[in-house]
Amino acid sequence: DDAGEFAIRFAELGASYISLSAGGKFEDAVHRPGKPLYPYTGYSGDRCMPGDSHPDAPNIWMARAVRSALRSRDIDTPVIGSGKIGTAELAGELIARGDCDIVGMARALLADPYLPAKSRGGDSDLVTRCIYCNVCKSLDENFKTVVCYLWPAGSVHAPSPGERDPGSVPGWASESEPLSVTMEPGQCRLRWDPPEAALDVPLRYEVERAEGDGPFQRLTSCTRSSQLDDSVVGGRVYRYRVRPCDPTGRRGDPSNTVGVEIPGDGARPATQA
């Protein structure tokens, strides 16, 4: 309620827009001897820059509430919503349903500064999507050069679409089975062999998962050749596959598919599919 009243007064005084986040305050920052305070180390900072354990757009309710307060006074000042809004599609949904008027992005644009251009040009599938690992946040709070975990090793900026040879994206032979999945208590561990033709090309990998006979959906991205899925639920069947991507976001053909059946008290062996 207080935020709504403040927003109304700001708008009355001529604010061009109202931008909402969840904090990043010095008051709850973690104190480290000999180090300057960094306002995103405390609880408010975690809420302001939600990581991969948070759902998408966890703070949008605040923007929605403030926007509602403004509109109730017939004030049309635009409201900016932010916080783990990583795709143009999600941004469009939030705006369309009236949660906010503008979407603010930071980490998503660090991962791929060309996200708006790619999305506008119909190339959303080429976007390097932020996985909200918050490596960039950790670097920043330690006053180091900020880079993205998904960039090629050693890079200090995101690859531009024209930086790489337009040839085919390295992939696996059609008959190969590079992906394997093993079960551990409460989680699945995926491992795969990098494509032979990609040994000198910095790749990232899109890990895709399907539940039962449902469609494959992106689980996460990584630059290594292994990934842990600790979000499995007993009594369900999952299928996994991995897709290589070159530095500009172009995706190659997927690997073999591996299925895992997870009973309530453990797991049955993974099966090739």
CB count in 10 Å sphere of residue 229: 17
Report the alpha-carbon distance of residue 224 to residue 108 in Å, rounded.
20
Q: In 3D, which of 142, 144, 86 has the Cα closest to residue 111?
A: 86
Cβ atoms of 43 and 28 closer than 8 Å: yes
Residue found under tokens 């990098």: 194
pLDDT at position 202:
75
- Beta-strand ranges (E) seen in 135-216 are 179-184, 187-192, 204-211
How far, in Å, CA of 105 to CA of 83, rounded? 7
Residue type, 213: D
Contact 41, 23 (CB under 8 A): no
Q: How far is CA 42 from CA 55, 83, 258, in A?
A: 19, 16, 40
Identify residue 91 by its one-letter amino acid code: A
Q: Which two tokens stand for residue 12?
A: 């009355």
Instruction: Tell me the domain boundaries of the chain.
Output: 2-106, 179-272
Give all strands of the β-sheet with 204-211 in edge-to-edge order: 217-222, 204-211, 236-245, 258-262, 271-272
pLDDT tens across the length of the chain (273 residues):
899 999 999 999 999 999 988 888 999 999 989 888 899 989 999 999 999 999 999 999 999 999 999 999 999 999 999 999 999 999 999 999 999 999 999 999 999 999 999 999 998 989 999 999 999 999 998 889 999 999 988 899 998 886 655 566 778 888 899 999 999 888 999 999 998 765 566 789 999 999 999 999 999 999 999 999 999 999 999 999 999 998 888 888 999 999 999 877 654 555 555
Assess if CATH 3.40.50.150 describes domain 179-272: no
Sign of CA dihedral 163, 192, 108, 216: positive
Alpha carbon separation from 258 to 218, 231, 269 (Å, rounded) = 15, 17, 10
Class of domain 2-106: alpha beta
> What pLDDT does 263 receive?
73
Could you tell me the two tokens for 231? 């979000």
CA distance 17 to 213: 45
Q: Where is 271: in which H helix or E strand?
A: strand 271-272
Fill in the amino acid letter for 125. Answer: D
The pTM assigned to this predicted structure is: 0.83
Give CA–CA dist 256/246, Å, rounded: 19
